[in-house]
Amino acid sequence: MVSPLRYDSNSSEYKKARRQHWKSTKNRQVDVDTSWSPFRAAEKRYKARFPPPDLSAVLDLASLLSANPPALYQPTRICGSDVFILPDVPGLVLLPAFACPQDQRHLVRWSLRDHARHPNETNLDAHYVLPAEGIWNAHLQSRTAGTEPVLIRAKASLDDGSLPRSSSSGPRQLVANDTASVDNFPTLQSVPKPPPEPSTTVSDCCVASDLVPKLRWANIGWSYHWGSKQYDFLKGKGTIDPFLRDLCKRAVGTVPWERVFDGDDLQGWGDDDCRTWKETYEPDAGIVNFYQTKDTLMAHVDRSEVCAMSPLVSISLGNAAIFLIGGLSRDTEPIPLLLRSGDVLIMSGPACRRAYHGVPRILETTLPAHFSQPPDGDDKTMDWEPYKAYIRNTRININVRQVFPKGFDPHTLDAM
Ligand SMILES: O=C(O)CCC(=O)C(=O)O
Ligand SMILES: [Fe+2]
């Protein structure tokens, strides 16, 4: 069970949330719409700023390690790691605190300094002409005494009028898309993938430090086209960081997959076989999600990967979050799971990979103490302060995927 959210009822934020709640509910008897699906209703409940949500139903598996877990959630200990197999959603596995504090700090720094920059696309690329070193490094440079901050121009402000217009620079948009499969792959490939439209509502000129809190995502590996919600394989295969690849492969290698899918009919899995994932799992795509504490991720299914079976490895860093996972439609009541910094959640198999899921809440002030300490080892001398300041109000999720089933080669498709 998760402890109740602590709120300062005298804070201006609490009062503002209360005012907004009164305004939006004054003409309504009860703040529940009966037409909401069970998933939507749960999202609304956990998103609510006022009254603060009741977290007593949120499953905090890590806290069960020190208590007596109910039979349903008995963890298995393998090579020093605890593994929870969640029978409610076949294929869902949680490895609490799989990434140690040092690895968590390393990944936070990697996400910001090394990854959220060219050639990896971020949400900001559509709208701004970004410095080659990335906005995080430009932000760090601007903190150095005597350095003039580099001015960043909005793309729309440089436009001669010929660019298509859009109105939003906001978070990830929900776009209906076809579920990818080996059979419809050639058709999905032929869908036009025009570049995104620069927003006309962002300010014409800003500095890197203004944009750091607006960073929402950075692409990993195969390029993802948000407009069509399909991968754009023509852009080539980006590299996967070796440290990240190793961590994901170790996590997948730790799970006793025969037990996860024990008794399941593995017919219909094609050439994929969970019993060989320890050797065959190879991440090639993904996204780094950056959440400020007010951000949410709406219910969705990740259906763009051709392979709907192989493990999707999701690493949580920074503040904790409530993660909802339901079923193949929004009509299944979702399970609310607490994801803490260092947790690795694995979604695998047909029921779990195509299940609705989302993040309705980042829990403020849940940053573990180790983020206050600087990295050790080779990085002893680095300045951890800016990372510490950033992560205080942030959650980072590194969501790593394998797009193709074993043996599938997109480049042989011309012959199909
Ligand atoms: O932030 C998370 O835990 C989940 C992210 C996710 O579902 C996604 O990137 O598709
Ligand atoms: Fe997802």
At 18 the pLDDT is 76
Decide: 337 and 325 in contact? Cβ < 8 Å.
Answer: yes
Number of the ligand closest to the Cα of 343 = 1
Both structure tokens of 33: 């719409």
Instruction: Report how far ligand 2's centroid is from the alpha carbon of 53 (Å).
Output: 23
Mutate to test the pocket of ligand 1, among 39, 46, 343, 359 (most ligand atoms within 8 A of CB): 359
* Alpha-carbon torsion (93, 95, 96, 100), positive or negative: negative
Residue 21 is assigned to a structural domain of this protein: no
Token look-up 């978070």 returns 171
Q: Is residue 78 part of a domain?
A: yes
Query: What pLDDT is stored for residue 192 in this prediction?
Result: 82
Ligand of minimum distance to the alpha carbon of 353: 2
- Position 5 scores a pLDDT of 59
Residue 15 lies in a domain: no
* Among the bound ligands, the one closest to the CA of 361: 1
- Residues 204-227: pLDDT tens digits? 899 999 999 999 999 999 999 998
Tell me what pLDDT residue 275 has: 87
Tally of domains in the chain: 1
294 lies in some domain: yes
Question: Would you say 395 and 319 are in contact if contact means Cβ atoms under 8 Å apart?
Answer: yes
- Ligand 1: which of 397, 398, 403 to mutate, most ligand atoms within 8 Å of CB? 397
Q: What is the CATH number of the domain that holds 72?
A: 2.60.120.590
| Predicted local distance difference test score (pLDDT) of residue 164 | 54
Domain assignment of residue 355, yes or no: yes
> What does residue 396 show for φ and ψ, rounded to 5 degrees?
-115, 135
Tell me the pLDDT tens digit for each residue of 164-207.
555 455 566 556 677 888 888 888 777 888 888 899 999 889 99
Residue 120 counted as domain residue: no
Q: What pLDDT score does 237 carry?
A: 87
Q: Is residue 408 part of a domain?
A: yes
Which atom of ligand 1 sits closest to the CA of residue 345? 3
| Per-10-residue mean pLDDT, the chain, length 416 | 63 79 66 86 94 93 85 88 94 97 96 97 96 96 88 87 54 68 80 87 93 97 91 89 98 96 74 87 96 97 91 98 98 97 97 96 96 76 91 98 83 52
41-76 burial: b if 16+ Cβ within 10 Å, else e = bbbebbbbbbeebebeebbbbbebeeeeeeeeeebe
Q: Which pLDDT does position 267 carry in this prediction? A: 66
Per the structure, the complete domain to which residue 84 belongs is given by: 29-103+234-415
Using CB atoms within 10 Å of the CB of residue 356, give its burial: 0 to 12 exposed, 13 to 18 middle, 19+ buried.
Answer: buried
Q: Is residue 280 part of a domain?
A: yes
Cα(102) to ligand 1 centroid in Å equals 23
